[in-house]
Amino acid sequence: MKALFGVILTALFLIAQPALAWQKYDIAFSNAANSGPTYLSKINDKCMDSAGPLNFSVNNKYKMTVEDMNSGVGICLGIQKKIIWAVSHTHNPASLDPKACLVQFSVTYYWFDHWHAAITSTCENLISYATCRLENCLNYCPDLNNCHMTKTGSVGVNVPDSINIVFAK
């Protein structure tokens, strides 16, 4: 009976864990030295209460704080939280550039582990590096709808967690 009770408590803990998931992220965008401005337009977000401005540019550095939604209730239960930006070096706003690259910041909960964040770009040489809590979390994927992100960073421990994205020249 004690073993069954222990199994039930463990299962309840694992089910309740995503309900505790509310997090802020400080996202810092930077340009490589001696490069022109980078323009970004938010084109999609899912399960983010605060997803930053619609359009902005990065001359040297730009920092924003975003906040995800609690995934324990409602439509965000078991869904990847994300923001997708169009990125352009030539068009402001970037959403008007037909050749714009897409960059996605995503947060996913892996059962029996914890929350993981990833940065994914549809253009292979757009970003020189990206870190999620100091871990390399940069992925390249030409199709964001059909992508396996192998590089992730653990998040959910610090408030806010630090995400860094550095654009290449």
pLDDT of residue 13: 47
Q: What is the pTM of this model?
A: 0.84
Q: 71-78: long-range contacts at Cβ-Cβ below 8 A with a sequence spacing of 24 or more?
A: 71/18, 71/19, 71/21, 71/47, 71/109, 72/16, 72/18, 72/19, 72/20, 72/21, 73/19, 75/47, 76/46, 76/47, 77/18, 78/18, 78/109
The pLDDT score that the predictor gives to residue 16 is 46
For residue 15, give its domain range.
2-167
pLDDT digits (tens, 9 = 90+) for 57-84: 999 999 999 988 765 556 777 678 999 9
- 140 near 120, Cβ under 8 Å? yes
Q: How many domains does the chain have?
A: 1
Residues 102-123: pLDDT tens digits? Answer: 999 999 876 556 788 999 999 9
DSSP symbols for 25-73: EEEEEEEPTT---EEEEEEEEESEEE---SEEEESSEEEEEEEEPPTTS
Average pLDDT over residues 10-27: 61
Binned at pLDDT 50, 70 and 90, residue 20 comes out as very low
pLDDT above 90: residue 49: no
Q: Is the pLDDT of residue 129 over 70?
A: yes
- Greater confidence (148 vs 72) lies with 148
The band of 125, judged by pLDDT with boundaries at 50, 70 and 90, is very high
* pLDDT for the residue numbered 105: 96
Mean pLDDT, rounded, of the chain: 85
CATH number of the structural domain spanning residue 85? 2.60.270
| Pairwise pLDDT comparison (110 vs 95), residue with the higher score | 95
Question: Alpha-carbon Rg of the chain, whole angstroms?
Answer: 17
pLDDT at 2 over 90: no
